[in-house]
């Protein structure tokens, strides 16, 4: 399965850390955020990494080149940062079938494989990892309502009065049907093309959207204090690993069963209509395109 990583943003709220580097190149516990994203996606069996770049894109392209741990990388240039739905349209020509998408400012230690499996097993057109957050924080995210079956019934982007505290995290799976929806999205009050609006269009057309509750943790690295929180999480996890290394009593059979439960069915796929072309730009590695970085 292909994997899209959205990494075009300026990271204004992360300044001064992003004065001379894109947000995805900010390090968390010794690794750039993008490296952690790539590692997670490769662990899920990504066949190709398609990275949407924009602000200071040469920093990303020169660092990673054309592959990561043997997985090929393709770069797509979002000239203006006009929202996630807009960013997705820059990769439309590269997508062959169902795909994963991760926001390049999120770090996870969670059940991402369950999201992939749900889409494969239920034939959903989209599936999301959803997290219950404190109500006072829900207005930072896309907030979703779900029915008793875990299917999303509505999504609202950064609402003033959140209907629930269940929010979309930065990990998704889609069929190509999402592109048709993205083409129909109109600018929001923030003058951005919101992925939540595209999801609502899918819902209105009768598509199935599933929400999978997060088991584990994730940090949306939007502010310097979020980076500190992510570093603390990784350091705590490393300390736990060291503390249990000499007393590992894992049941091998149980471990194998757990691994199997998050395996990806690579043969499954869904066809969908797409419409209305846009003019994407592919950026070659290791050299960047000749129009310079997006400011």
Q: What is the CATH number of the domain that holds 168?
A: 3.90.550.10
The tally of domains found in the chain comes to 1
pLDDT tens by residue, 18-49: 888 899 998 888 899 999 999 999 999 999 99
pLDDT at 294: 37
In 3D, which of 42, 10, 39, 40 has the Cα closest to residue 26?
A: 10
Strands 152-157 and 142-146: what pairing? Answer: antiparallel
Measured CA to CA, the distance from residue 261 to residue 11 in angstroms comes to 36
Instruction: For residue 19, give both structure tokens.
Output: 């004065």
- Distance between terminal CA atoms of the chain? 32
Among 84-93, 114-123, 198-207, 249-258, which range has the highest average pLDDT? 84-93
pLDDT tens by residue, 72-111: 999 999 999 999 999 999 999 999 999 999 999 999 999 9
Q: Is residue 156 part of a domain?
A: yes
pLDDT at 114: 94
Domain containing residue 34: 2-245+254-283
Q: Is residue 290 part of a domain?
A: no
User: Percentage of the chain with pLDDT > 90?
Assistant: 45
Statement: residue 64 has pLDDT above 90? yes
pTM, two decimals, is 0.78
Q: Is residue 153 part of a domain?
A: yes
Which sign does the torsion angle of CA 147, 153, 158, 162 carry? negative
pLDDT at 274: 32
Q: Is residue 148 part of a domain?
A: yes
pLDDT at 252: 41
Which whole number is the average pLDDT over 115-128?
A: 86
pLDDT at 197: 92
pLDDT at 189: 87
pLDDT tens by residue, 253-295: 433 434 333 333 333 333 333 333 344 444 433 333 334 333 3
Q: For the chain, where are the alpha helices, taking DSSP H only? A: 33-43, 57-64, 84-89, 112-122, 177-184, 195-204, 224-244, 252-261
Q: Is residue 294 part of a domain?
A: no
Q: Is residue 295 part of a domain?
A: no
Instruction: For residue 97, give both structure tokens.
Output: 């079938």
């Amino acid at each position: 399965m292909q994997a899209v990583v959205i990494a075009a943003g300026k990271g204004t709220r992360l300044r001064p850390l992003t004065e001379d580097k894109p947000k995805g190149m900010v390090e968390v516990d010794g690794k750039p955020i993008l490296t952690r994203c790539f590692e997670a996606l490769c662990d899920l069996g990504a066949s190709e990494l398609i990275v949407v770049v924009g602000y200071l894109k040469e920093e990303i392209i020169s660092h990673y080149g054309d592959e990561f741990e043997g997985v090929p990388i393709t770069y797509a240039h979002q000239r203006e940062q006009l929202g996630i739905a807009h960013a997705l349209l820059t990769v439309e020509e590269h997508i062959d079938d169902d795909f994963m998408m991760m926001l390049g400012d999120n770090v996870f230690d969670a059940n991402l494989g369950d999201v992939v499996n749900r889409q494969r097993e239920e034939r959903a057109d989209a599936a999301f990892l959803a997290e219950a957050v404190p109500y006072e924080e829900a207005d930072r995210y896309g907030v979703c309502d779900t029915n008793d079956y875990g299917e999303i019934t509505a999504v609202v982007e950064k609402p003033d009065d959140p209907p629930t505290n269940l929010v979309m995290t930065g990990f998704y799976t889609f069929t190509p049907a999402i592109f048709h929806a993205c083409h129909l999205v109109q600018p929001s009050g923030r003058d951005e093309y919101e992925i939540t609006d595209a999801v609502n269009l899918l819902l209105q057309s009768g598509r199935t959207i599933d929400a999978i509750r997060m088991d584990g943790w994730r940090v949306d690295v939007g502010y310097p204090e979020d980076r500190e929180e992510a570093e603390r999480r990784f350091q705590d996890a490393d300390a736990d690993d060291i503390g249990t290394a000499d007393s590992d009593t894992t049941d091998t059979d149980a471990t194998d069963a757990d691994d199997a439960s998050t395996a990806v069915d690579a043969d499954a796929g869904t066809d969908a209509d797409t419409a209305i072309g846009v003019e994407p730009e592919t950026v070659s590695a290791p050299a960047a395109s000749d129009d310079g970085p997006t400011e």
